[in-house]
Chains A and B, each alone.
Chain A
Amino acid sequence: MLLLQVIVGGLLLGAIYALFSSGLTLIWGMMNFINFAHGEFVMLGMYVALLVVTWLAGGPAAFGFAAAFALFVLGVAVYAGLIRHVMRGPMLAQILSTFGLALLLRYTAFFIFSANVVSLPPTALSGTIDAGGILVSLPQLVAGVTAALLTLAMHLLLTRTTVGSQLLAVAEDRSAAMLMGIRPDRMQALAWGLAAASAGIAGALMATSYPWSPSVGETFGLTAFVVVTLGGFGSVPGAMYAGLIVGLIQSLSAYYLGPIYKDVVVYGLFVALLWLRPQGLMGKA
């Protein structure tokens, strides 16, 4: 029974990892661009949720949408204001620009929200469900299921819709896409918006169960990189499986080996997998 409890907890956590990692992998797949500020997007999503709850007394649906919308706008703005320009610069400038952005966002958050640890007050989502002896906290359940559905939706958007085809077309061959009448700039801005929105909504979902402070983005950013690399750069389904796997491994190893070993196990498997399959689980070689 305890084993089942550990597995359920790990999968729910993994679903959220999958959601915010899918945003990171989308940007990589679209533009071969690494966004080091992705963890900070998650962190901002958490604060948006907090503001909506404390100022507007909004419920989970309200702060979920608010976080997604606010971060979508931020994502597009970041693309238009920063990324579009540094894309023309040398590789190093591209890498360091989002690193700088991460620090800017983190320390702005320190400035505005202070360094205090905050947590979301109880919402309509508080409580625990007893499913035949397995206790699942309602916020974690809703967060996990929503995250899984959104990741799936992101995958369907990319593979089954015109917009998705246009996004992938730009990713595959920018000039050819232009010749077909697709505006790459617009598509890339959309990709950044979607990526940031997925991080934002993941943050809002996480906020229902975890206390945080502005430095929380570091932890999430690192997790996202592991998930994306494990799943294969640019693959949304890969990020989804990898997210679930990482969540599960963390839970199982924390329970059986002790919490200080869980990262050892995760990173150990990570290195081993890269050695065997450098392109990740579902990446293209």
Chain B
Amino acid sequence: MAERERRLTRPYGGVFVARSQVMDVDDIHRALRRMSHEILERNHGLDDVVLIGLQTGGVQLAHALASTLEEIEEIDDTEDGVPVGTLDVALYRDDIGIRPVLPEEVTAIPVDLDGRVVVLVDDVLFTGRTIRAALDAVIDFGRPRIVQLAVMVDRGHRELPIRPDFVGKNLPTRRDELVDVTMQGVELGELQKS
């Protein structure tokens, strides 16, 4: 999410120009599969697990992780699957008033989070500020037993003491580069000022 906002927002605004593909569509699926196994291993199954995708980049990944988890655990359509929520952290950001911030999508948390295992899902982990905001937001919805973090790409440059539990790919980057994650792959590139 942090990535997307920086892309849309002045003075960061401009057009994303891809330089190289870092993961292709198969890599994404392999990473999702491995991360799903890691989530199951860490939590000894799916009891109490809730996935929360951060708007907007993490939502598709959260749904993809949920269906992979259900596939591995052989949960069919007749049973309750893994609950998936979505969270827009704009109203919890620490840069409100410093640069333009607007909520994009409605937050939807389908279950009570008290005592649950919450797995936050985002596309790119960068400064950690989005996750800081997400932690504050989640706690307003209840008191989870544990909160874990799954990201497709960890690109470094943390500004807060936050670390991911499940990572698709560790990708060393320069600060001024951009990482674009879709279900089709991951591209590294630059922002071309418009």
Chain B associates with chain A: no
